[in-house]
Amino acid sequence: MSVYQRGDGRWVCKWRDPSRPKDKPWATRSFHTKEDADAFQDEVTQEERQCARLTVYEAVGLYLKDHNLSASVEQQYRWLVGGARQDQIRAKQKVGYAECIADRYVDSLDRRDLNAVRDCARAGGSSNVTINKWIDRLKAVFGYAVEEELITRNPWAHHRPLPVERRGSRQGTPEHFLAVYAHLQPWMQWACRTALALCLRPGKSELFSLQWKAFDFLHGAVTVFMGKVGMSKTVYPPQEYMEEALERYEADGRDDAQYVCRNSFGQRVRTYCHAWRDAVRKAGRGWLPFYSLRHIAATMMIAAGADVAAVAANLGHASPATTLNAYAHALPSAQKAASAVLGAAWCGTAKAIPEKSDS
């Protein structure tokens, strides 16, 4: 855009007009005075800036266009900022939590807009965990807009998430587990023994996806693919477990594709929560997460004096430091044993120090 004076003394404002043909994009307008031309230039510049600004709704659309997300996740994004406008047929559709700021420009958002989204989600019955999830998705959209130079900054980048109540501990004690184990069905008991022996993540990704082809009975090893980290680990379980596993493998007709842990009907386990919860309830000793089996296996090995690097390998941790950070909760028996060692060492050291005389 430019302002210049013609030979006849009139002032001309020249600017690029997106509505004109591509081969003739420039438009002009003449004025009697330079002040009028400058005022018109400022007006057109302001309009161009307004047109170039990005709304929240437009930012989400561009984000989805440039990212290959699943259909369900994409629908969640569209509902978040679109809500009822995504489906005019269903009049009772729930309003999107960020629909209140959908038409706001991203570069004009502030803390009040963030609180408005949180309040809307809270009114919809969402917990702080869910609210933080929705806010994080909007932050991801705004971060993408910054990377694409559509906006200069992420307006919510430095706002902290809402405090979240801590979930139940994943820790557990062998005594608590044995009380639950007594009330488990036989197929779940075998699954628990497998999870402990192989230090598996109890669930569908590892424990209930394990097949006999992972077992090397000749060398007493089991290779497990860990879906959580996309890597495999090799475990050398106790000999007693491998002997029992071999008997079950032979009973299955040496079918390498057969699942190691199956339900009471001999089929692949699709759900195990009810069986575990019923046993925990019957044990009557409070809640114990199924995941605690992994914690129990780790703490028992560490408390027994096993090498931390070996424990990390069994768990599938890339570094022993991860094992220590996650499972450094010593068992009471191990604490007492450590105190006994310290007491013996202290007594020996104290006797070796000569007592000072009063004089």
The tens digit of pLDDT for each residue in 228-251 reads 777 899 999 999 999 999 999 999
Say how many CA atoms lie within 13 Å of 3 toward its Cβ. Answer: 16
Name the range with the highest mean pLDDT among 185-189, 230-234, 318-322: 185-189
Q: Within this chain, do residues 48 and 64 fall inside the same structural domain, yes or no?
A: no
Q: How many domains does the chain have?
A: 3
Long-range contacts at 134-138 (CB < 8 A, ≥ 24 apart) = 134/80, 134/97, 134/98, 135/159, 135/161, 136/161, 137/76, 137/77, 137/80, 138/56, 138/80, 138/98
pLDDT score of 349: 53
Contact 212, 252 (CB under 8 A): yes
In terms of pLDDT, which residue wins out, 344 or 281? 281
Q: Which residue has the tokens 């820790």?
A: 171
Is there a domain that residue 266 lies in? Answer: yes
Q: Within this chain, do residues 266 and 294 fall inside the same structural domain, yes or no?
A: yes
Q: Within this chain, do residues 198 and 319 fall inside the same structural domain, yes or no?
A: yes
pLDDT score of 286: 86
The last residue of a domain, from among 105, 129, 147: 147
pLDDT score of 250: 96
Q: Within this chain, do residues 143 and 221 fall inside the same structural domain, yes or no?
A: no
Is there a domain that residue 73 lies in? Answer: yes
Position 169 confidence tier, pLDDT thresholds 50, 70, 90: very low
pTM of the entire predicted model = 0.52
pLDDT score of 300: 85
The last residue of a domain, from among 129, 147, 165: 147
The CATH number covering residue 309 comes to 1.10.443.10
pLDDT averaged over every residue in the chain: 83
Is there a domain that residue 164 lies in? Answer: no
Q: Within this chain, do residues 13 and 60 fall inside the same structural domain, yes or no?
A: no
Structure tokens at 339: 């105190």
d(CA 193, CA 295): 14
Question: Residues of the chain with pLDDT > 90: what percent?
Answer: 40
Q: Within this chain, do residues 126 and 238 fall inside the same structural domain, yes or no?
A: no
pLDDT score of 238: 93
Q: Within this chain, do residues 79 and 207 fall inside the same structural domain, yes or no?
A: no
Q: Within this chain, do residues 74 and 21 fall inside the same structural domain, yes or no?
A: no
3-state secondary structure of 178: helix
pLDDT at 166 over 60: no
In terms of pLDDT, which residue wins out, 264 or 323? 264
Is there a domain that residue 243 lies in? Answer: yes
Is there a domain that residue 342 lies in? Answer: no
Question: Residues of the chain with pLDDT > 70: what percent?
Answer: 82
The tens digit of pLDDT for each residue in 27-40 reads 888 888 888 888 88
- Rounded to 5 degrees, φ, ψ at 233 are -135, 155
Is there a domain that residue 159 lies in? Answer: no
Position 335 confidence tier, pLDDT thresholds 50, 70, 90: low
pLDDT score of 235: 94
Q: Within this chain, do residues 203 and 121 fall inside the same structural domain, yes or no?
A: no
pLDDT score of 356: 54
In terms of pLDDT, which residue wins out, 283 or 39? 283
Q: Within this chain, do residues 300 and 229 fall inside the same structural domain, yes or no?
A: yes
pLDDT score of 216: 96
Choice among 181-190, 191-200, 229-238 with the minimum mean pLDDT = 229-238
Q: Within this chain, do residues 238 and 328 fall inside the same structural domain, yes or no?
A: yes
Q: Within this chain, do residues 91 and 240 fall inside the same structural domain, yes or no?
A: no
Structural domain of 189? 174-334
Choice among 47-56, 76-85, 244-253 with the minimum mean pLDDT = 47-56
Is there a domain that residue 154 lies in? Answer: no
pLDDT score of 167: 47
Is there a domain that residue 351 lies in? Answer: no
pLDDT at 213 over 50: yes
